[in-house]
């Protein structure tokens, strides 16, 4: 136990709890799905399960990702100082941390139904396989969108014990959004990724990267609007989507020059995009209840 306590600051950095943006990008669509599935407040127990589960699974995913990318990260300016890459923790430690966190996540879903259990297993497989896609798949960011949106079908499964069409439309919208923000992220690392042979959407889109990002945002807006119409949501929900649209417009001003720092700022700012959509749905249920 004393060893774990001594090493905790390194584990904290391994799972990126010092960089909560990944947790937030996972959390907003998951909470939005919970509210939709429950037709309002989902209850304290479900909200707690999904919030804690989001933190645990994102943390486990970071440890798994760093394990597979440890050699590549040495050659990328943004990642070369990660604790596993620099040898401050061992490969075995990284896998042990990932396993512990994944195990805790599984314990969280035990009170839920069997459909949620099955989807939790699928989510784990996706988290493990995502880092491997960067070796050969030209747009791993799309697969990341599935990983970062998989809380959506899990939320519907937990509440309704079913996966209605609106859940899949919301997931598709989240994939489009994730492809937009993670392409912005990939634009930061593009010079390094080209040297080491990593596949990313920023490289695949080439000189059309900015246009592709904005197209993905537009697809996301359309699908989120379709979700609102299908779920019978009102003006406050659509105001949230419209606010997110304005945020995406701001991102265009940041990424059009393709400079590293503004592209990274745009990526981080997507927290407010997700928050706007979630705030819209919460306000809509609150006002119209």
The answer to whether the beta carbons of residues 38 and 3 sit under 8 Å apart is no
Asked whether the predicted pLDDT for residue 74 surpasses 80, the reply is no
| Least confident stretch, 23-32, 50-59, 145-154, 187-196 | 187-196
C-alpha 91/C-alpha 98 separation (Å) is 11
Write down the residue that tokens 């042979």 correspond to.
197
Domain count for the chain, please give it.
1
Domain that holds residue 63: 2-288
Residues 6+ apart with CB under 8 A from 214: 180, 248, 252
Residue 3 pLDDT grade (very low, low, confident, very high; cuts 50, 70, 90)? low
The answer to whether the beta carbons of residues 224 and 241 sit under 8 Å apart is yes
In this prediction, residue 2 carries a pLDDT of 63
In this prediction, residue 72 carries a pLDDT of 77
Residue 68 pLDDT grade (very low, low, confident, very high; cuts 50, 70, 90)? confident
The answer to whether the beta carbons of residues 21 and 266 sit under 8 Å apart is no
pLDDT in tens, 171-216: 999 999 999 999 999 999 898 888 888 888 999 999 999 999 999 9
pLDDT in tens, 111-131: 999 999 999 999 989 888 887
pLDDT in tens, 231-275: 999 999 999 999 999 999 999 999 999 999 999 999 999 999 999
Q: CB count, 10 Å around CB of 207?
A: 7
C-alpha 37/C-alpha 3 separation (Å) is 43
Q: CB count, 10 Å around CB of 136?
A: 8
C-alpha 70/C-alpha 237 separation (Å) is 42
pLDDT in tens, 90-106: 999 999 999 999 899 98
> What's the burial of 253, exposed, middle or buried (CB within 10 Å: 0-12/13-18/19+)?
exposed
Axis crossing angle, helix 235-255 with helix 209-230, rounded to the nearest 10: 180
How many degrees, rounded to 5, is the angle at CA 99 between CA 98 and CA 104? 100
Q: What is the DSSP letter of 172?
A: H
Residues 6+ apart with CB under 8 A from 78: 188, 189, 192
Strand stretches in the chain, DSSP E: none
In this prediction, residue 256 carries a pLDDT of 96
pLDDT > 90 in the chain, percent:
69
Q: Do you know the residue count of the chain?
A: 289
Please provide the average confidence, as pLDDT, over all residues in the chain: 91
Better pLDDT: 87 or 210:
210
In this prediction, residue 141 carries a pLDDT of 87
Q: What is the DSSP letter of 206?
A: G
The answer to whether the beta carbons of residues 143 and 137 sit under 8 Å apart is yes
C-alpha 122/C-alpha 232 separation (Å) is 30
> What's the burial of 199, exposed, middle or buried (CB within 10 Å: 0-12/13-18/19+)?
middle
In this prediction, residue 81 carries a pLDDT of 85
In this prediction, residue 198 carries a pLDDT of 82
Residues 6+ apart with CB under 8 A from 8: none
What's the pTM value of the predicted model, to 2 decimals? 0.93
In this prediction, residue 1 carries a pLDDT of 60
Specify the CATH number for the domain of residue 179: 1.10.357.140
């Amino acid at each position: 136990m004393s060893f774990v306590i001594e090493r905790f600051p390194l584990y904290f950095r391994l799972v990126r709890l010092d960089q909560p943006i990944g947790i937030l990008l996972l959390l907003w669509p998951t909470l939005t799905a919970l509210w939709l599935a429950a037709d309002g407040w989902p209850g304290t127990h479900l909200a707690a399960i999904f919030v804690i589960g989001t933190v645990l699974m994102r943390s486990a995913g970071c440890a798994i990702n760093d394990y597979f990318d440890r050699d590549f990260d040495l050659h990328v300016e943004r990642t070369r100082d990660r604790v596993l890459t620099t040898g401050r923790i061992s490969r075995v430690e990284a896998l042990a941390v990932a396993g512990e966190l994944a195990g805790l996540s599984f314990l969280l879903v035990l009170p839920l139904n069997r459909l949620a259990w099955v989807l939790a297993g699928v989510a784990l497989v996706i988290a493990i396989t995502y880092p491997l896609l960067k070796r050969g798949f030209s747009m791993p960011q799309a697969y990341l969108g599935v990983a970062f949106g998989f809380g959506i079908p899990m939320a519907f499964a937990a509440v309704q014990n079913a996966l209605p069409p609106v859940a899949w439309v919301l997931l598709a919208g989240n994939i489009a959004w994730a492809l937009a923000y993670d392409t912005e992220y990939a634009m930061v690392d593009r010079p390094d990724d080209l040297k080491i042979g990593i596949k990313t959407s920023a490289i695949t889109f080439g000189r059309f990267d900015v246009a592709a990002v904005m197209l993905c945002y537009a697809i996301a807006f359309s699908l989120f609007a379709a979700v609102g119409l299908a779920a019978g949501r009102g003006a406050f929900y659509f105001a949230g989507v419209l606010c997110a649209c304005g945020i995406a417009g701001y991102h265009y001003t940041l990424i059009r020059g393709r400079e590293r720092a503004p592209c990274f700022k745009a990526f981080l700012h997507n927290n407010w995009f997700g928050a706007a959509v979630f705030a819209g749905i919460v306000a809509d249920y609150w006002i119209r209840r």
